[in-house]
Amino acid sequence: MKSQRISKNVIRRLPRYIRHLDLLTCEGVTRVSSSELGKRMSLTASQIRQDFNCFGGFGQQGYGYNVEELRSKLAAILGMERSRSAIIIGAGNLGRAIIKNFRFGACGVTLRAAFDIGDKREAIGDALSFYDIGELENYLRENPTDIAVLTLPADAADGMAHRLVGAGIRGIWNFTNVELRGIPENVVVENVHFSDSLLALNYYLSKEEK
């Protein structure tokens, strides 16, 4: 929650670069110019060069970027090769969807355990270690963890976030659509607000109809 030197918009574009570089690799492309990459991503070549200049620039004027090299540099900046640990709080439909389908490993994160009330244990099956939420503090004492994924009901989000921070969690990935209040500045909160995305879609639909 500190102000950072590199703009959030640049950071948020990096994963998109990585996705497009992966597509290029799949297509057998090993070198790409900023204008070619820009065309695929609906960005201008100058915006791309500007983004990469935030990190010292990666290209050689006139030669374009080596796809594999660029990908690995961006991945390093994003910490994708670092090993982070995570737990997930809430094993309802959304929690289970994330446990079963989301590729944490591709982001450099290992999902280690799920927490909920005991009767949700069966829903998880063998996919992941399951603990009753009462065991949270003990678990975190024995297994220091970087990130907690919040997929519990909205009305429990604020209390749980503070409980997690008290138990040493420093990163919260928040799917509850609640703006968490009073979280210390050294804790990073990343909100996934589905509604922001749907409202943006609405807006652009209306624009198209004009």
Interaction with its own copies in 19-78: which residues (CB under 8 A)? 19-20, 23, 42, 77-78
* 120: Cβ contacts below 8 Å, ≥ 6 apart: 91, 92, 130
β-bridge pairing 171-174 and 188-191: parallel
Q: How far apart are the first and last CA of the chain?
A: 38
- Judge contact between 187 and 164, C-beta under 8 A: no
Q: Which stretch binds its own copies (CB under 8 A): 51-59, 105-113, 134-142, 160-168?
A: 105-113
Among residues 21, 34, 37, 104, the one that binds its own copies under rule CB under 8 A? 104
Cα 186 from Cα 64, distance rounded (Å):
38
Cα 29 from Cα 176, distance rounded (Å):
40
Say whether residue 117 binds its own copies (CB under 8 A). Answer: no
Interaction with its own copies in 148-187: which residues (CB under 8 A)? 170-171, 173, 179, 186
Binding interface with its own copies (CB under 8 A): 1-4, 8-9, 11-12, 14-16, 19-20, 23, 42, 77-80, 82, 84, 92-94, 96-98, 100-104, 106-109, 146-147, 170-171, 173, 179, 186, 188, 190-208, 210
